[in-house]
Amino acid sequence: MENSKLDTARRYVYSDIDLSFARLPSTDDIAKKIDLQAVKQSVVNIISTARGEVPFRPDFGCNLRAYLFEPFSEFTKAAAEDTIRLSLGAYEPRVIIDNITVSDDADSNALRITVEYTIKSPDNQSDVVSFLVERLR
């Protein structure tokens, strides 16, 4: 009986604040993201952060912008994929990485990153994050 109360009282597994700091109109509190959206926000945050950017956490992030200045080759692709895999493995224990794809977007001088992952939860939901890493002009 106690397990059924626990299951109905907690409808989500993971939660985090919304990093856009949007406010809920009814309570004026900061909105939160739950489950799939919370984990997705974290994955994007880790991948898009450069190492050394976060104070007191010099190893946090991926530093993918460094690969923009390298000639794109199989070595560069493998190194970027390894960097993403190691960073997510170290800082996002809620996911199992299924596939990472790094491709060159020569027209815009950018890297196209796609990460497919499964969330460790009762539902084992899968999700995909895809974005461009570009040089600042």
- Listed by start position, the domains of the chain span 36-134
* 120 — pLDDT class (breaks 50, 70, 90): confident
Reply yes or no on whether the pLDDT at 1 is more than 70.
no
CATH class of 36-134: alpha beta
Q: Which residues pair with 97 in a beta bridge?
A: 117
* 87 — pLDDT class (breaks 50, 70, 90): very high
CA–CA dist 14, 2 (Å, integer): 21
Q: Which residue has the higher pLDDT, 96 or 36?
A: 96
Q: Which residue, 105, 55, 53, 56, is CA-closest to 80? A: 105
The pTM for the full model equals 0.80
- Which DSSP category does 124 fall into? -
* 102 — pLDDT class (breaks 50, 70, 90): very high
Q: What's the mean per-residue pLDDT of the chain?
A: 84
